[in-house]
A and B are shown apart, each in its own frame.
Chain A
């Protein structure tokens, strides 16, 4: 079945540590890839997106993600996290191969400790 998988449900790390969140998808066709973030008490916000071109995309707040087509992956990274990065992170895939459906991963809750 077509799906979006996020590898970790919960991640706890200290400030200044590096963060990498995995995302794999199983769609074919042309894909648009997104990472969204939901801070406590707020709506979803877009972190970054990939449509085409350079597979390494940079987003807001120092986040970046790399699209590896051969691995069907779109992992999110940040070299040095801050306490304010505590949030839930969602990978999402928009695929032309799935009736244009936007599919979210289950989300990863990230807690950054001071």
Chain B
């Protein structure tokens, strides 16, 4: 266990559904991340939160909406997704050093949510 917990582990949803992915870290970190991993593609960074402030949004479609209510919890709200959004969504956390932007210290990953959009 890495100290980063993601739920649910698997999710199947229709294109008109609204669902949320949850991530919780128990490591006392101050930065959290959402990554997307598709089969045969490398990781894609979606969002970065540092000290509960979104500091990076890598041109992610608005049907993905992140929320970081506190430094331990991160959500990814999903609505009107497309079949091509089917992927593994990974949450990660890190402890930012001198930078307040939460960049790049050692990342601890959750196990991911395998999402299938029908």
User: Which chain B residues border A32 with CB–CB below 8 Å?
Assistant: 39-40
A-B contact count (CB 8 A): 53
User: Which chain B residues border A96 with CB–CB below 8 Å?
Assistant: 39
- Total contacting residues, chain B, CB less than 8 A: 23
Q: Are B107 and A44 in contact (CB under 8 A)?
A: yes
Q: Are B107 and A34 in contact (CB under 8 A)?
A: no
Is A46 engaged at the interface, CB distance under 8 Å to the other chain?
yes
User: Which chain B residues border A46 with CB–CB below 8 Å?
Assistant: 42-43
Binds A, one of B20-28, B65-73, B75-83, B108-116: B108-116
Is B99 engaged at the interface, CB distance under 8 Å to the other chain?
yes
Closest to A39 in B: B104
CA distance A32 to B38 in the complex (A): 11
Q: Are A94 and B104 in contact (CB under 8 A)?
A: no
